[in-house]
Chains A and B, each alone.
Chain A
Amino acid sequence: MSRRVLVAMSGGVDSSVAAALLCEQGYDVVGVAMRLAPDAPPNTAKRRGTCCSHDDFEDARRVSERMGFPFYVVDLRADFGARVIGNFVSEYLAGRTPNPCVMCNREIKFDRLWSRANALKADFIATGHYARISRDAAGRYHLLRAIDSSKDQSYFLFTLGQTELSRTLFPLGDMTKTEVRARARALGLANADKPESQEICFVPDGDYARFVERLAPEGAIREGWITDDDGNTLAGHAGIHRFTVGQRRGLGIASGEPLYVREIRPDSGEVVVGRRDGLNSRGLIARDVELVDPTTLEAGGSDVEVKIRYRHPGLPARLTLSSPGTAEVRFVSDGPAVTPGQACVFYRGDEVVGGGFIERALRE
């Protein structure tokens, strides 16, 4: 009997080709599209172009009809709301800048959907992520960057451990986006040339601040002051959730030189701004650190390359695990602004060692 794989399908080109490839490879493919974002309130911008709108599900359904595998829409809105959107809102309210895609992978695709895969007796979960998994002679699994470095999504997947990797398939990790589109056209998939989704799927209009305000608990949004390094008050603001460390635009301050958000202080509601050179950091403290293979790191510190946001090229750094789940990352030379709340992911060459969430910058 062929092995069953549950393929998470968004309706985009990537997951469609992933499902089709697995079908061709002889897997018993079961396609699922997840309903994640709550329904947009009436009279808001149309949800086209985001990854989870209903039009897209029809595309995924067409792929399944063409390839002849069963396809289901599953309703995970409650879990997504509680675990991803709830986290997104509370992170912004705490002055941090969250990455919901990492949370969605950790909490939904590789937890909630994982349970569903077990319920459906699936041997594997597959997605259209651009990343690779390899297994060495000792039976350990490794998470690797995709061949197509411009599409590499290994950053979003650092929470996967040995158990997850042993039952996950990324059929696109060895392909370039161009090859994937060509395969999609060859397969006659209607969505071969569909534009990439960019927005966060549950904030289709891109207005994060308004989204947070709509969902914040009563009294959680507080006005505050924008100050400089010396504590001088420069302007008022409508809530710290409107700011991101490193942000320049939208501060509402007239100044002779460009000012950047340097620090957000959730307790006092202060947003500290300064000149660009004041943003630099020497490293960071990460929390909720997870390692792909806990046996790989040397005690006493390891040399890694760290990515502090998705499109970041990576910086050489020294990684030291302190208390469980906490790491100190020291950049080898001066680093850029680090944004609390973002994921920081540790690499050695092409391999993802692990990662965590940025708690704060190290200035010294």
Chain B
Amino acid sequence: MSTYLDHNAGSPLRPEAKAAIARLLEDHGGNPSSVHRTGQSARRMLEAARAEVAALIGADARQLIFTSGGTESNNLAIFGATRALPLRRKIVSSSIEHSSILAPLNALENVVKVAPDREGRLPPDEIVAAIDAETALVSFALANSEVGTIQDVTAIADAASRAGAIFHLDAAQAVGRIPVNVTELRCDLMTLSAHKLGAPAGIGALYLRDPSTLTPMLLGGPQESGLRAGTPNLLGAVAFGAAAAAIAEHFHEEALRVSTLANELLADLFDAIPRLRLNAPIRDRLPNTLNLTFPGVLGESLLIALDLEGIQVSMGSACAAGAVEPSHVLLAMGLTHDEARSSLRLSLGWNTTRNDIARAANIIPRVWRRVSEAEPLTDSGTTGKHWENLR
């Protein structure tokens, strides 16, 4: 018996995506670039999938290219935009971005990183003030993957547009969880990831308001409007398309269902665990995401104890597992090292049931109590203060 509450790391494959993959495996597949009829059939499937994914964000299919995932989309957005505007030298971003944004930014100069408030909100005024005629790119996550805070981007879109800067939104975590519409958000580029919404990993997309905005990074063939050379991942694309279509079909009922379950779980945990804290605003937050500071325990220990009881959660970014550095997002939000180390992320999704939530609400407080008694977070050893002094 196991309850999976880690959809932000990767959502289990949706039945619709599984069926699309099975159909393609039965079929021949083929290369969408080929002239013959198998190629034509492959091309049709690829373009149908593109239309389904584009529809989920209110875009035209011609504005969407497939990539290998969110990381590639973010890299292409950052390097592609800065190369397209070589005379502008400034980039505006934040300190709470995903590593696939922070690492490319580290390779560039003159990056302004705005800091969030205690709930993970980036101050729009500061961002707007930082955007000027020198700015090539403004790049943010629409919703933070670790804490779920949703940013208010209206003023930022205006400022970027006025300054002629390229406005990129990393919506890998937002798409499928909240309504996302590129026209309303007025972004130039948007990153999408498939495995966050129930399609397999290995496929993602980048929306481009104007496909001539970017300089391509992968050179080779003319695929994906010349912006991303390489034979497209048709298997991934059809699954992505099927998952997107399934989400679009029941968007509001499903969003309400997940949001209700998450709020019930949160209420139950607040009742059972004194001094528990939600690291995000109650409202402007991905409704499926609960980043919680559990008082007096190491998140690492609680995570393992919960896994052994069949509750699967995470310590923020999945890439950090095994090398348990405190989350850079939580630290940037002003949590102490100890608070950051005591925090876990619970993220719900399409296959989360009421039964799962009842189980989690029953088991988590019990395991938290056991861990906090057996292995209390103390001032001496576990916080490493002595060792930091030694250095």
Contacts and interface: CB of A to CB of B under 8 A. Distances in A.
Interface in B343-391: 370-371, 374-375, 380-387, 390-391
B362 to A, nearest CB: 16
A79 B381 CA distance: 5
Interface in A72-125: 72-75, 77-79, 81-83, 85-86, 89, 112, 115-116, 118-121
Nearest to B381: A79
Interface residues of A, number: 27
Contacts of B387: 38, 77-78, 81-82, 85-86
A358 interface: no
A188 interface: no
A30 B304 CA distance: 10
Interface string B293-318: 00000001100110110000000000
Interface in A294-308: none
- SS class of chain B's interface: helix, strand, loop or mixed? helix
Contacts of A217: 390
Tell me which of A83, A119, A217 has the highest count of chain B C-beta atoms within 10 A of its own C-beta. A119
A215 B381 contact: no
A82 B387 CA distance: 5
A258 interface: no
B117 to A, nearest CB: 28
A145 B308 CA distance: 34
B304 A72 contact: yes
A206 interface: no
A83 to B, nearest CB: 6
Contact of B300 (A30, A38, A75, A82): A75
B381 A116 contact: no
B322 interface: yes
B305 A86 contact: no
Size category of the binding interface on chain B? 20 to 34
A85 B391 CA distance: 11
B163 interface: no
Tell me which of A85, A86, A120 has the highest count of chain B C-beta atoms within 10 A of its own C-beta. A120
A119 B375 contact: yes
A70 interface: yes
A78 B305 CA distance: 20
B370 A119 contact: yes
Contact of B374 (A75, A77, A81, A118): A118
Given A70-B308, A119-B301, A83 B381 contact: yes
Interface of A: 30, 35, 38, 57, 70, 72-75, 77-79, 81-83, 85-86, 89, 112, 115-116, 118-121, 215, 217
12 contacts: A70-B307, A74-B301, A81-B384, A81-B390, A82-B387, A85-B387, A112-B381, A116-B301, A119-B370, A121-B370, A215-B390, A217-B390
9 smallest CB-CB distances across A and B, nearest first, come from A78-B384, A81-B387, A118-B374, A82-B386, A119-B374, A115-B375, A79-B381, A119-B371, A119-B375
